[in-house]
Chains A and B, each alone.
Chain A
């Protein structure tokens, strides 16, 4: 009997605390929605990245395509890094692995394309076959 008298205030406090917590969360959702300018895709991407337990940071090395050359022609990266080719040239280009194991689509002037690279790679532009580049993985 004594035990049950003590039980009710505790239960009430627990219920009140739960109600208060629930109310704050709900209130926040209503009063502070995501800014409409923030794209949902970005939020999803951020969430998925933070949810990934691996602390390994994605590193991107940029190769600029300009003056009908890959600049720099040789880049050294760590295994699993991303290489991004940015086409600042007058014409479209592409990136094709020397043995044609993989190839980008045509990269229009002002566009870019990226790929995670895990092994040493010699590549060329299949549109302008005299343009060559190399990725060294260390």
Chain B
């Protein structure tokens, strides 16, 4: 029943803006599941990689300077977070553990990327940036309300706390670009 409600809600969102689906699902799922540090590491790396993949697509498809600059920043910043997270878990001897949240994130991202690949020109720019706004909102909610409180290791918690303002800045940046595209 709960699953049906979630699907219906997602379908409505899909009709309005299908790219939001992955983001809302991510926030809801991660809130309901208590994650271990190894799982948090896996989710963190996957969430960052997903945004890098979308940004790389934007770099290939977009001709808009503002969009391309935003995408360039996403690639650099999210890679930086992955590098820091990987270095930390390696030092801590924690092996990122694949889990339901990571799998759902990756499955939804695949759909999102497919949707973006089907678009071009201004429609692509708009869809990409709107997805970035929604995705960062969802990731911020997940990091602030789930990943940080769930993290057991102080250094992992500290890293996530450092990542949070980066995500907030990305959201603000994406909102600015979205406004300029209107």
Contacts and interface: CB of A to CB of B under 8 A. Distances in A.
Interface stretch (B3-11, B74-82, B112-120, B143-151): B74-82
B81 A68 contact: no
A134 B83 CA distance: 32
A129 B176 contact: yes
Interface string B152-182: 0000000000110110110011001000000
B63 interface: no
Nearest to B70: A129
B169 A130 contact: yes
B173 A90 contact: no
B176 A127 contact: no
A37 to B, nearest CB: 31
A91 B166 contact: yes
B161 to A, nearest CB: 10
B36 interface: no
B84 interface: yes
Residue among A67, A69, A91 with the most chain B CB within 10 A?
A91
Contact of A92 (B76, B84, B163): B76
A79 interface: no
Interface in A25-51: none
A110 to B, nearest CB: 12
A90 B166 contact: yes
Interface in A91-135: 91-92, 109, 126-131
A26 B43 CA distance: 69
A104 to B, nearest CB: 16
Contacts, number: 37
Interface string B42-71: 000000000000000000000000000100
Given A129-B173, A130-B176, A91 B77 contact: yes
Q: What interface size band does chain A fall in?
A: 10 to 19
A129 B162 CA distance: 19
Contacts of B77: 90-91
A89 B163 CA distance: 10
Contact of A130 (B76, B80, B81, B173): B173
A128 B173 CA distance: 7
Contacts of B169: 68, 128, 130-131
A90 B84 contact: yes
B23 to A, nearest CB: 20
Contact of A90 (B69, B73, B163, B172): B163
12 contacts: A67-B162, A90-B81, A90-B162, A90-B163, A90-B166, A91-B81, A92-B80, A109-B80, A129-B176, A130-B169, A130-B172, A130-B173
Q: Return the 5 tightest CB-CB contacts between A and B, nearest first.
A: A68-B169, A68-B165, A130-B172, A91-B77, A67-B165
Interface of B: 69, 73, 76-77, 80-81, 84, 162-163, 165-166, 168-169, 172-173, 176
Interface of A: 67-69, 89-92, 109, 126-131
